[in-house]
Amino acid sequence: MWRLAVMVLMMGLVGCTQEAQNQLGRAIQNWTGTNGVLEIYAGSTLVKRFLQIDKLSTAMGTSDRNAREYRFGYGVLDANLNGVADPGERRIYFEVSNYCTYVFYEQP
């Protein structure tokens, strides 16, 4: 019975567009959570790091529902850039422009 369910699910995913598959993957990831890291660079120099990020969201316009030119989220500001959420480093709201150089990845 479970094999049939898996086959039906796989056939459904194959029939979905890539965007629909991405949305499903993001929905599952949002539900399970991510221990993400966001690093912001100025040239080749790391200038900011945020830890323990659940997700990066794309800002949407209120009336036109168009995507805005930045992402936002909540994370622990790693003030000393040591890759660890130290005592005193707190969770804050942040925004990052589409025009800056940043890397977002899951904490290994």
Q: Tens-of-pLDDT digits for all 108 residues of the chain?
A: 666 665 555 656 566 666 665 665 555 544 445 789 999 999 999 999 999 998 888 888 888 888 899 999 999 999 999 999 999 999 999 999 989 999 999 877
For 50, the token pair is 């945020």
Q: What is the residue extent of each domain of the chain?
A: 1-32, 33-108
For 4, the token pair is 């049939």
CA distance 38 to 75: 9
pTM tops 0.85: no
Look at residues 78, 80, 74, 76 and name the one whose alpha carbon lies nearest to residue 90: 76
